[in-house]
Amino acid sequence: MFDQATVEEFRSAAVQRGRLLIDGSWVEAADGATMDVVSPLDGRVLTTIAKGTRKDADAAIKAARVAFTDGRWSSLPPAARKLVLLKWAELIERNAMEIAVLGVRDNGTEIAMAYKAEPLSAAATIRYYAEALDKIYGEIAPTGPETLALVHREPVGVVGAILPWNFPLMIGAWKIGPALAVGCTMVVKPSESASLTLLKIADLGLQAGLPAGVLNIVTGEGTVVGAAISESMDIDVLTFTGSGPTGRRLMEAAARSNLKRVYLELGGKSPNVVFADAPNLAEAAKVAAGGIFRNSGQVCIAGSRLLVERSVHDAFVVELTKAMRGIAVGDPLDIRTGAGAVTSAAQLDRNLGFVKEAHSLGRTVVGGARIREETGGFFMEPTIITGVEATDRLAREEVFGPVLAVTPFDTEEEALALANGTEFGLAAAVWTSNLSRAHRMVRGINAGVVHVNTYGGADLTVPLGGLKQSGNGHDKSLHAFDKFLDLKTAWIKL
């Protein structure tokens, strides 16, 4: 049940020290080192997690390789894998509130969003791929009468996954679900800033019947554990969600090692384009505010650039400001809170740096201060910055915070040029009543997802992937299977 009383049951619960999951056992780091988990709610140490070493990563990779090679998971009948995954999804769902509260204490997402977007989303994703795994078929190619050509789809082997801190379960499940469903084994490296919920659901996976070595979790620093995974000669596919610079390093490591395939979901500077003929400007303003300020802007597809037709710009900003002020920033474990904490002191400082720079350039800034300092936590006012020019750093670089850059435009052609004027291409939105214009903009905007008269709406059945420097490959939908399957041709003479 989702209510405040249920949240309070877990608010102050003791948090177990996080250990590594390697070959079905929970173990300490090889050298016994740990890392503090600092809660963004109050700046205090919540618990510690194991600070994995390269030796630990190598042990996990070896366990995953052995588990894949001996077929304890990949050779199971699809129906048997399905039963385990469905049981796992059920256990996650059954413990959803406990998991959600733990996650909020770890990374600061408001509970109303975290409950749905983390454990419930992860359970739904694992269930989706469990139900789909026995619908994957090979092919018979149309060759001549003297040959039979078969196309087999086989699991790639060992998958490495490096996950972000903003939605570790949702995004983690996007990778874990399809990879395990087709029979791969995995080594997962959570973010240093959000490991606790992944460790929790991994334990539930063991309870559901995942064999030892099939899913391994190694916490620790990216420069150590992440580097070991990316440089390994025994990782067949690497999937990553995070920053562009890290993505580049992972691709370089793949090139230096075994040429493993690398799938990247990187940053975004997503444009939200509002034309004067939008069906409902007040609704567009409300949705635009939610599209950047929920989870304190810490959403990969956040609509962080608002492009507004000049004839309605001023009136729209008034509505937008009204909508922004209606979003309550506060205790992330209060179900009424509309935006929670920024995940770390470092991220808060980065956010505030962009605001300071906007002031120095003479832009108009509404909001943008650090708030709730008395709690010891990391909280920031939602921020609207108008008069932003296309050359401003704020218009080109991802903030990953509650900071919205607003720029006016005069023509459809100018709007399209501005929308495409960054190195990113993850998401976008267009607000218009003109059906032809909507189709032109969908076709013209270089982004993996383009919303029309909405923002952020998506279903597990449709893919998410970026263009340009927002990455490659797709999470979600049946297309996610493509990352974790190899095609093998059998050419048989009759």
At 167-180, the pLDDT tens digits run 999 999 999 999 99
Which residues, given as ranges, of the chain have pLDDT below 50? none
3-state secondary structure the chain: CCCHHHHHHHHCCCCCCECEEECCEEECCCCCCEEEEECCCCCCEEEEEECCCHHHHHHHHHHHHHHHHCCCCCCCCHHHHHHHHHHHHHHHHHCHHHHHHHHHHHHCCCHHHHHHHHHHHHHHHHHHHHHHHHHCCCEEECCCCCEEEEEEEEECCEEEEECCCCCHHHHHHHHHHHHHHCCCEEEEECECCECHHHHHHHHHHHHHCCCCCCEEECCCCHHHHHHHHHHCCCCCEEEEECCHHHHHHHHHHHHHCCCCEEEEECCCCCEEEECCCCCCHHHHHHHHHHHHHHHHHCCCCCCCEEEEEHHHHHHHHHHHHHHHHCCCECCCCCCCCCECCCCCHHHHHHHHHHHHHHHHCCCEEEECCEECHHHCCCEECCEEEECCCCCCHHHHCCCCCCEEEEEEECCHHHHHHHHCCCCCCCEEEEECCCHHHHHHHHHHCCCCEEEECCCCCCCCCCCECCCHHHECCCECCHHHHHHHEEEEEEEEEC
- Does the annotation count 90 as an active-site position? no
Catalytic residue chosen out of the listed positions 192, 231, 265, 398: 265
At 440-477, the pLDDT tens digits run 999 999 999 999 999 987 799 999 999 999 999 999 99
- For residue 144, what pLDDT is reported? 87
**According to CATH, where is 3.40.309.10 located in the chain?**
271-459
At 4-53, the pLDDT tens digits run 999 999 999 999 999 999 999 999 999 999 999 999 999 999 999 999 99
pTM (2 decimals)?
A: 0.96
CATH of domain 4-266+471-493: 3.40.605.10
**According to CATH, where is 3.40.605.10 located in the chain?**
4-266+471-493
CATH of domain 271-459: 3.40.309.10
- For residue 458, what pLDDT is reported? 79
